[in-house]
């Protein structure tokens, strides 16, 4: 599938054979390291950290395991709560479906209709107006993002869990927004904010679950 996306039209039968050989060679190297680790520790079973260390010796780190020892839950939650400075691409990705942003966008468009007769005078302040609109767009998106981060962090600490259901997160995020007298978000909007957090390596998401990493 990756080759198709890259533009490859046809794959030869020998490609699969080479892939299998490479996989066997790679796994044999990892297994040799695992055997050495288990024997040196005088054990008969392989632990998770044995696999992490063996993969790291071969130049591969598991997702979320950047160091030889995993971080504590408090450390991972602290990383989740770290403030994200939104960029233009991030803002474009999430603001279009945000209910708060939609409201501000509607207000700005109605104001533009009223001021059509004064285009010549407003041309001088177009740059300042564009900056003001950009700040108006970023403000509600930043607020919702911080609420999502704080809500997930509180859930993971309160429940002492590493996994949160997306539906549970949606319920708690909307409850937190209601306390701030903000409009609720839809499941699709929440997924876009979660995708942004996943892009920054704050969480890892599947279709129904959110993982603390």
As averages over each run of 10 residues, the pLDDT of the chain (213 residues) reads 69 68 84 89 86 82 57 87 80 60 46 51 54 56 92 94 93 95 92 90 87 88
What is the structure's pLDDT at 55?
85
pTM, to two decimals? 0.53
Q: Could you tell me the CATH superfamily of domain 2-70?
A: Histone, subunit A (1.10.20.10)
Cβ atoms of residues 143 and 176 within 8 Å: no
> Of 165, 105, 108, whose CA–CA distance to 140 is shortest?
105
Q: What is the pLDDT of residue 135?
A: 47
Whose structure tokens read 């695992």?
34
Transcribe 180-211 into DSSP letters. Answer: TT-----HHHHHHHHHHHHHTTSEEE-SSEEE
Q: What is the dihedral of CA 80, 86, 88, 93, to 10 degrees?
A: 40
Q: How far is CA 196 from the centre of its chain?
A: 4
Q: How far apart are CA 5 and CA 34, in angstroms?
A: 35
Q: Report d(CA 173, CA 152) in Å as an integer.
A: 8
Distance CA 194, CA 206 (A): 10
Domain ranges of the chain: 2-70, 80-212
Which residue's structure tokens are 């966008």?
A: 105
Q: Which fold has domain 80-212?
A: Arc Repressor Mutant, subunit A (1.10.10)
Residue 158: per-residue pLDDT? 94
Q: How far from 48 is each of 28, 70, 104, 120, 166, CA to CA, in Å?
A: 18, 11, 49, 68, 27
- What 82-88 contacts at long range (C-beta under 8 Å, 24+ apart), as own/partner pairs, is 82/202, 83/146, 84/145, 84/149, 84/196, 84/197, 84/200, 84/202, 86/138, 86/141, 86/142, 86/145
pLDDT of residue 53: 84
């Amino acid at each position: 599938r990756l080759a198709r996306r890259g533009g490859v039209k046809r794959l030869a039968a020998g490609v699969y054979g080479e892939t299998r050989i490479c996989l066997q060679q790679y796994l044999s190297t990892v297994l040799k390291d695992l055997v050495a680790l288990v024997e040196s520790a005088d054990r008969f079973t392989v632990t998770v950290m044995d696999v992490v260390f063996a993969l790291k010796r071969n130049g591969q780190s598991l997702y979320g395991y950047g160091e030889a020892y995993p971080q504590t839950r408090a450390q991972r939650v602290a990383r989740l709560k770290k403030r994200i400075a939104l960029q233009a691409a991030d803002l474009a990705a999430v603001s279009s479906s945000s209910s708060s942003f939609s409201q501000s966008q509607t207000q700005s468009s109605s104001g533009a209709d009223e001021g059509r007769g004064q285009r010549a005078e407003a041309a001088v302040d177009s740059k300042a107006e564009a900056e003001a609109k950009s700040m108006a767009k970023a403000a509600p998106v930043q607020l919702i993002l911080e609420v999502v981060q704080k809500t997930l962090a509180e859930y993971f600490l309160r429940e002492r869990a590493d996994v949160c259901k997306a539906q549970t997160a949606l319920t708690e995020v909307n409850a937190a927004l209601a306390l701030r007298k903000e409009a609720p978000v839809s499941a699709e909007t929440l997924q876009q904010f979660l995708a942004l957090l996943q892009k920054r390596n704050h969480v890892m998401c599947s279709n129904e679950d959110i993982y603390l990493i």
